[in-house]
Chain A
Amino acid sequence: MSTIASGDFWAFVGVVAGIYALLGLGIQLEFGFAGLLNFGHVAFMAIGAYTMAILVVKLGWSMWIATPLAVVAAAAAGVALGLPTLRLRADYFAIATIAFSEIVRYVATNEETLTGGSQGTINLAGAGQAASYNGDWDRFESWVQSTLRLGSKDAAMLAIVWLVALASCTALWAAGRTPWGRVLRGIREDEDVVSSLGKNVFAFRLQALAVGSALAGLAGCFYAWQFSFFSPADFAPLLTFFAWMIVILGGLGRFFAVPVGAVVFGVLFAGTRFFDFAPFAWFDSAERAYLRLMLIGLAIIGLILFRPQGVLGRREELVLD
């Protein structure tokens, strides 16, 4: 059977799309609501994944304790970054955040005793002993599989990831309808008006950044479980741009546009890997990988030129400025 017709393959695409959806929800809250141009989002994903893996492998803690702590660590990192940098103008904030994400990646690459270095988490317990942080997760996955009578572990993973992603989405949607969400939208439109109404713009932005970073940390944990081990190279700036692409694709200012954008992106990105008809047949697989990223870049440009509100966005509420 060809790969493109196999259920396992599409379950994998679905899991990755679910992880991207979690990542994109953070960007949607930060940019679509609070107007923050965070280009270092992937750093918080890395912090979440590494915190979880290090606590489980080095300290031998249960995954059920390590994971909430990892999410808290990501949120705390968001606050630590935001405290000094949130007063910068949007594009300078973007540069500061991408610099932060590169610092995180360099530290993860070079602090071998802490992170396992460029080889990744397989070296976490020291060279020669393949470290694994997946034990608790595998048991949980099997339990879900047998309880729901699912055909495969991949299907169980798919169910868990999307349950969490849609629950987060619903929670954010509900939060967006509270006074808190209205203040955030107000900040995005005109922060001077909001602050003249006596709202602490800085505090609201910091909260949005903390929640967005926590979601990225959670996405990082799922990424870690899905791939069994990971290395600093997995957290290159490109991943941040993928999350941005998903949010722009889905539409700005609507949380439920993010899962839609993630599914479309996942299918396009993974699906085009198996395009073997002309004109794709003219290129070998490495060349097709370049071509896919090129198409993503063109899609970003095309969306900004022709449909700045995204596929599901509300033109009257928000267009890219």
Chain B
Amino acid sequence: MFLQLVANGLVTGAVVAIAALGVSLVYGILGFVNFAYGDVMTFGAFVAVLFDGRLGMAMIVAAVLAMVATAILSLGLEGVLWRPLRARRAGFMSLFLASIGLALVLRQAIFLVAGPQPRSYDVDPYKVYVLGSVRLSGAQVVAVAVAAVAIVTVALVLRVTSVGRTMRAVADDRALAAVSGIDTGRVIGVTWILCGLIAGLAGVLSALVQGSFDPNFGFSLLLPVFAAVVLGGIGSAYGALLGGLVLGLATEVSTWSGFHGGVNPVYKPVVAFAVLIAVLLLRPQGLLGRARTL
């Protein structure tokens, strides 16, 4: 039972971690918390429904197309919303409030186009892998593997490629990066594309793990994702990974009956929110973040 909870926690954590990576990237470069991120994930999940269900493509093809579509959406929003706001010298408060407006627009647009009924992908829900006393569904195994590969890839891109280096330079000090010849507009564009790819992937993976989902599901994931970002240390790829895993394990293992009878499973989201508030209070820079004033 305990091992099963740990396994479930790792799956939840891996999916939350990949989503947290996207939030963390945008925060690092643009300095604001994007409230529309959950609904961008929903967008990705629903695009995959279109390709997988309606057009009958293989799940992996549908997932890649959904990532591309989400990246296009993400870049488009930079063009019509974020860049004009920055041009007006909007501070993080304005960007934050605008992202709330955007979240409403995106979610309602998805409701309008796709309808409120729950959806699921055309995958075999009964495929189960047994590992000792632990049983994992096919979707769970795929989610963990893909999330692990994706996170390592993004961390490597940030570490070794020249695009990654310029992104980190812009994150450190945008003005300094600009005077040293970095095209900050282009770097920000690349960041939004990367963030869109990650959001699309995270949307598809969490939808896959959840099994059935409606247009509200991305928004309901947003707070746990924020919790993971803050927990790991904002702006750090490995921090997002660590934050996601710790959060996933904490929420699942908290229900273990060996632990003072365990938390009632209906309170799993509350455990995540409580972890979030506790981290903000005790270590606001996160587990791997640099100390600074928040």
Contact = CB atoms under 8 A, between A and B. Distances in A.
A88 B102 CA distance: 25
A103 B273 contact: yes
A297 B116 CA distance: 19
Interface in A220-271: 241, 244, 248
Contacts of A95: 33, 223, 226, 230, 276, 280
Nearest to A286: B116
Interface in A258-307: 283, 286-287, 290-291, 293-294, 296-301, 304-305
B270 A290 contact: no
A294 B106 CA distance: 8
Contact of B104 (A107, A286, A300): A300
A106 interface: yes
Given A88-B294, A110-B267, A297 B281 contact: no
A90 interface: yes
A106 B269 CA distance: 8
Contact of A297 (B32, B104, B112, B266): B104
A154 to B, nearest CB: 30
B85 A304 contact: yes
B105 A301 contact: yes
Contacts of B111: 290
Interface string B265-279: 011011001101100
A299 B108 CA distance: 14
Interface in B75-100: 81, 84-85, 88, 90-94, 96-98, 100
Interface of B is mostly: helix
A102 B100 contact: no
Interface string B237-258: 0000000000000000000000
Interface residues on B, range: 35 or more
B91 A320 contact: yes
A286 B88 CA distance: 36
B200 to A, nearest CB: 21
A96 B277 contact: yes
A99 B33 CA distance: 15
A291 to B, nearest CB: 7
Interface in A151-171: none
Contacts, number: 123
Contacts of A98: 223
Given A88-B280, A290-B112, A321-B91, A304 B102 contact: no
A100 interface: yes
A92 B109 CA distance: 28
A305 B88 contact: yes
Given A107-B270, A305-B84, A321 B280 contact: no
Given A290-B108, A296-B104, A305-B85, A320 B267 contact: no
A264 to B, nearest CB: 17
A90 B281 CA distance: 14
B293 interface: yes
A296 B88 CA distance: 22
A19 interface: no
Interface of A is mostly: helix
A96 B81 CA distance: 26
Contacts of B270: 102-103, 106-107
A18 B230 CA distance: 37
Interface string A91-116: 11011101110110011011000000
A135 B90 CA distance: 50
B101 interface: yes
Contacts of B92: 90-91, 321
B264 A92 contact: no
Interface in B211-254: 223, 226-227, 230
A119 B109 CA distance: 29
Interface in A64-94: 84-85, 88-92, 94
B284 A92 contact: yes
Interface string B51-62: 000000000000
A195 to B, nearest CB: 14
B45 interface: no
Contacts of B277: 84-85, 96, 99-100
Could you say which of A110, A283, A290, A305 has the most chain B C-beta atoms within 10 Å of its C-beta? A290
Could you say which of A99, A110, A294, A320 has the most chain B C-beta atoms within 10 Å of its C-beta? A99
Nearest to B215: A290
A21 interface: no
B140 to A, nearest CB: 25
Interface string B194-216: 00000000000000000000000
A308 interface: yes
Contacts of B102: 297, 301
A304 B98 contact: yes
A246 to B, nearest CB: 13
Contacts of B108: 290-291, 293-294, 297
Contacts of B294: 88-89, 92
14 contacts: A85-B280, A88-B284, A96-B277, A99-B277, A100-B277, A102-B269, A106-B267, A286-B116, A293-B108, A294-B112, A297-B105, A300-B98, A301-B101, A320-B91
Q: Which 9 A-B pairs have the closest CB atoms?
A: A297-B104, A300-B101, A321-B91, A297-B105, A99-B273, A294-B108, A301-B101, A290-B108, A297-B101
Given A89-B294, A99-B273, A308-B94, 4 more contacts: A96-B277, A291-B108, A301-B101, A304-B85
